[in-house]
Chain A
Amino acid sequence: MDVFKRLATWLGITNKKATVLCVGLDNSGKTTVINHFKPPQTKSEEVVPTIGYSVEKFLISRISFTVFDMSGQGRYRNLWEQYYPETEAVIFVIDSSERLRLEVAREELHALLEHPVIKQKRIPICCLANKKDLKDALSDVEIADKMELAEIADDKPYNIFATNARTGEGLDMAMDWLSEQIMTIK
């Protein structure tokens, strides 16, 4: 990895940095998603509920990501906004099997979008319909509908991907899309 990075820097292809905010309700799988992208030797073996936030760095398709993995627990959600000003993309993780709290997730997402700092920014929103392997999981289309993604303002590119963070299924596709968006916006 290190060798590639140096090589890439030398060639002048990389040195693009992006700060990304990873949010979503508690137990939706944010930390597991981030864990998937970390280099193998720094991966944590078990994932425990995040208290507060944690910051991770990794490199995907020539972009060096700095991800603020926020805690999704109710009492910490109001702290997300502290990290809005610097963010250049938002990853919103949704537990697609948890129908009951989908409404809560929708409110949180729209509250985020309505926040004055985010509202005036042109940043990509990447929704992940996680836990798609569970048998009562909703499809990404259903979730997009319930989450009212269509209402996202035109200046913000958005997309939704059905994922399984444990196996990594769907994640690479999502990140490819996100990288592309970041590159085009910059």
Chain B
Amino acid sequence: MNVIRGYKKDDEEGGKSGPFQNLEKSTVLQEARAFNDNVLNNKKCTLILTKILYLMNQGVTLTPAEATQTFFAITKLWQSKDITLRRLVYVSVKEMAKIANDVIIVTSSLTKDMTGKEDQYRGSAIRALCVITDNTMVQAIERYMKQAIVDRNPSVSSAALVSALHIFQRGAVEIVKRWVNEAQEASTSDHLMVQYHAIGLLYHIRKHDRLAVTKMVTKLSRSGLRSPFGYCLLIRIACKVLEREERSSNNMLYDFLESCLRHKNDMVVYEAARAMVNLSNITARELQPAVSVLQMFLSSPKAVTRFAAVKTLNRIAMIHPDVVTSCNIDLENLISDTNRSIATLAITTLLKTGNEASVDRLMKQITSFMSEISDEFKTVVVEAIRSVCIKFPRKHHILMTFLANMLREEGGFDYKKAIVNTIIAIIEENSEIKDVGLSHLCEFIEDCEHIELATRILHLLGREGPRTQKPYKYIRFIYNRVLLEAATVRAAAVTSLAKFGASCEDLLESILVLLERCLLDNDDEVRDRALLYMEVLKQKQKSLSSAFILNPISVSVVGLERALLAYCSQPNDDPFDIKTVPIETTPYNETPKSIGEVTTGGSVIKSAPVASKHDIFVEQLSAIPQFSKLGPLFKSSDSPVELTESETEYVVRCVKHTYLNHLVFQFDVTNTLNDQLLENVRVEMEETEGFSIISYIPIASLPYGQPKTAYTLVGIEDNTIVSGTFLNTLKFIVKDCDPNTGEPDDDQGYDDEYVLENVDILLSDHMQRIVKPNFAASWEEIGEENQTEGTYALSSMKDISDAVKQITGFLGMQSCERSDQVDHNRTSHTLLLAGVFRGGHEVLVRARLAQTGQVTMKMTVRSKDLNTCELVAAAIN
């Protein structure tokens, strides 16, 4: 120790040149030969060992041969009785154990030290011993470990418990399980750390046994622990249990959490409060006690306590702002806290909970120290502003200015992305501020180093720009991108320009000139895009520009690639049919997120071009010969339908697949009886009008616990019938078998059947959602001549927003132009839906809803296929 201390002093005096600077591995290893001397120099050895450890921790790697040689040299240091040296030896042994061979040789030396009289050795020796012992050798040290766990010396006991946990996690589960009694004894220790470590080990041993964990928590919580660390751990365990099961069924654990709020140790109280906040589906009233202890912490003299409290309150404010309102006065005091992190969190919390009048003042406060806080906290501020925007629409102006200022300042990608997302969200929510927002974004892309953000903004400009009052003022910004930026951004800018050309006739001439200039670009993609758009725009046909510029094809990229590959691999004179390509599935819940729910990242989910669920189904189904001739898979139902109760003998789930003229029902069957082997399992369906059963594909053999799949192929006979109900029966041959081996007792089985729930086929099974960014253009493209109209009274729906949800779900179509967002104060609403019907027919629906007592709807359906038009219209009845 003296040596190290001495060098530390040198370090301080000599500035940066430490004693370990510029060490060479080979020289140090050479020096390590001193360990072999017959007369050891303790000080010298200590220094050399420190050097070796320093090198290893700097990332210098030793080869196994070097490590082994050094390791054996180190083993000779055991003859020295110097405490510092010996402890360094333990550390080095642990480090070397990862690379050197035959480290097991020090086992006896370590066991001697861990059972010896020198307490300073014992803990470290145990830790080193457990590192060098592999799972097959654990048995040899079991006796010592058991003794050490219950040792009177807390450092020894702790070391043994922690090491036991390491061994356990390394896989020697069975042996460590035998130490549970010793661990139990240690958990009653008076020493805080020992108790904590013992609980940790006990939990890990029982982790997979839910009942045992619950029992342990209740027992320990009742008996009371001395260790606050133990309490914290217990709280976390309790939370895990609570998360897994219904809370109502385990009130005892919940009461335990609540009782911890009254513990005398701050740490325990905070942990309990935080745990309660993190519980899913906790109500505002249940949070009250947690909030009041956090409120107390707000005035704590310790900065870390204040920080913890305000951070947690900030989280609560996102879910239950009302509960936090009571803390407003205390939070106000923290605004001027010298710790900027605390101040930021306090202000952002206040923004979420405060009233409209205080927004201006708070914003001014933030501005004053915005430059002093890190990106991470700036992002927190942005998130807070986002939620304020929804609460107080009238404050848009000040908030937008603030965001624009932030955008101009320095910051990393995530931070900028959060700002851009927030601005976009605000623009979408509130059309008054659109102009201002767009021009801020324009200014931002003038000097934006992030390609992803630039393309995103260009896309947004292309969509929203033409609809503003002065579209021409954005052109300059967009064209600047064509001149200045990388190829990806240039291509996006060209597309954006074309959209202006397609939407605003008075700009068309200028756009054409600009696009012509883009033809000289040196990037292929940019030139191709410009040429295509120019030709399309020159035609001056609404339907053309709608199809190619405003509403581009919406097929799944992976699907397109697959279809093109298949097309190219076989000689074929027919032209490629884009309708055979599966349409990009938009997850149902991805309807533009209301900015009310602030996600932590604030990012909009992007569908990455990876194999989707659809592609997986395509793969599975095309592997079955009977299905290979059905054509491309059009649609699969979103989530499997349960045809049985979840806890019955057999569990059956159904997924519906739609082809051009066929339906395939996929039944995932699980046998939950371990004494039965099922054979020839199939789901028999009763035919219904318009549909005929073609074939069954049974499961040959269904052993216990392994889900397998049976299919039923159904033909669509009548194209005017889209809905129907099928009665299903699960039929199979049962063979009794040995629960342990799964071998059937005899070859003779008997037939049996099991009645399942019905499966409904609805219009939505024939419909695929698509997104039309410019609905009006597509609407015009199909034209008035292809439409049907009808007026309906929707007596079963209680209000407009309910109706919007139900109609969208029923038709299985995608809402466009944010028409799924219903203003609650209005009595009328227009819902715009787009979809593709089986066979590739595009369908658009405009539903005008009005509420006068009950909801009435005037629905217009347009599709180039009249049959589809009528089917959709008829389905509403």
Contact = CB atoms under 8 A, between A and B. Distances in A.
Interface of A: 17, 19, 50-55, 57, 66, 71, 76, 79, 82-83, 85-86, 88
Interface in B2-36: 36
B105 interface: yes
B79 A52 contact: no
Interface stretch (B107-115, B150-158, B695-703): B107-115
A86 B76 contact: yes
A76 B104 CA distance: 9
Nearest to B109: A54
B649 interface: no
Contacts of B106: 52-53
Interface in B104-130: 104-109, 111-112
B76 A52 contact: no
Contacts of A66: 38, 79
10 contacts: A17-B38, A17-B39, A51-B107, A52-B109, A53-B109, A54-B108, A79-B102, A82-B105, A86-B76, A88-B38
B107 to A, nearest CB: 4
B112 A54 contact: yes
Given A76-B105, A79-B102, A85-B36, A55 B78 contact: yes
B110 to A, nearest CB: 9
B79 A57 contact: yes
A19 B38 contact: yes
Contacts of B109: 52-55
A19 B79 CA distance: 10
A63 to B, nearest CB: 12
A83 B38 CA distance: 12
Given A51-B104, A86-B36, 8 more contacts: A52-B104, A52-B106, A53-B108, A55-B79, A66-B38, A76-B104, A82-B75, A82-B105
Contacts of B111: 51
Contacts of B39: 17
A180 B59 CA distance: 50
Contacts of A88: 38
A76 B103 CA distance: 11
Contacts of A54: 78, 108-109, 112
Interface of B: 36, 38-39, 72, 75-76, 78-79, 102, 104-109, 111-112, 137, 140
Nearest to A69: B108
B107 A52 contact: yes
A66 B78 CA distance: 10
Contact of B72 (A19, A51, A55, A82): A82
* Leading 3 A-B pairs by shortest Cβ distance: A52-B105, A51-B107, A82-B72
A17 B72 CA distance: 21
Contacts of A82: 72, 75, 105
A129 to B, nearest CB: 25
A66 B80 CA distance: 10
A50 B108 contact: yes
A50 B106 CA distance: 10
B639 to A, nearest CB: 57
A13 to B, nearest CB: 18
Contacts of A55: 76, 78-79, 109
Main secondary structure of the interface of A (DSSP, over half): mixed
B38 A53 contact: no
Contacts of A52: 104-109
Main secondary structure of the interface of B (DSSP, over half): helix
B130 to A, nearest CB: 14
A139 B875 CA distance: 108
A54 B39 CA distance: 18
B628 to A, nearest CB: 59
Contacts of A86: 36, 38, 76
Nearest to B112: A54
B105 A79 contact: yes
A53 B111 CA distance: 11
Contacts of A50: 108
Nearest to B140: A51
Contacts of B137: 51
Contacts of A71: 105, 108
Nearest to B33: A85
Contacts of B140: 51
Which interface residue of A51, A57, A85 has the most chain B CB atoms within 10 A?
A: A51
Contact of B105 (A17, A19, A53, A85): A53
Contacts of B105: 51-53, 71, 76, 79, 82
Contacts of B36: 85-86
A85 B72 CA distance: 12
A122 B109 CA distance: 29
A86 B137 CA distance: 29
Contacts of B75: 53, 82
A174 B75 CA distance: 28
A117 to B, nearest CB: 12
A55 B108 CA distance: 9
Given A17-B39, A79-B102, A51 B108 contact: yes
B656 to A, nearest CB: 63
A85 B140 CA distance: 30
Contacts of A53: 75, 105-106, 108-109
Nearest to B141: A51
A52 B111 CA distance: 11
Nearest to B102: A79
Contacts of B102: 79
Contacts of A57: 79
A83 B109 CA distance: 15
B674 to A, nearest CB: 43
Contacts of B108: 50-54, 71
A52 B78 CA distance: 13
A153 to B, nearest CB: 23
Contacts of B38: 17, 19, 66, 86, 88
A100 B104 CA distance: 29
Nearest to A15: B39
Nearest to A78: B102
Contacts of A83: 72, 76
Nearest to B37: A86
A17 to B, nearest CB: 6
Contacts of B104: 51-52, 76
Contacts of A19: 38
Which interface residue of B36, B106, B107 has the most chain A CB atoms within 10 A?
A: B107
B75 to A, nearest CB: 7
A66 B105 CA distance: 18
Nearest to B101: A79
B475 to A, nearest CB: 80
Nearest to A70: B105
B699 to A, nearest CB: 52
A52 B140 CA distance: 12
B86 to A, nearest CB: 12
Contacts of A51: 104-105, 107-108, 111, 137, 140
Contacts of B79: 55, 57, 66
A18 to B, nearest CB: 8
A41 to B, nearest CB: 9
B97 to A, nearest CB: 13
A17 B38 CA distance: 8
A21 B523 CA distance: 77
A52 B113 CA distance: 14
Which interface residue of B78, B104, B105, B109 has the most chain A CB atoms within 10 A?
A: B105
A51 B112 CA distance: 11
B117 to A, nearest CB: 9
A152 B38 CA distance: 26
Contacts of A76: 104-105
A137 to B, nearest CB: 27
A66 B76 CA distance: 10
A88 B111 CA distance: 27
B825 to A, nearest CB: 81
A145 B105 CA distance: 33
A42 to B, nearest CB: 9
A55 B72 CA distance: 13
Contacts of B78: 54-55
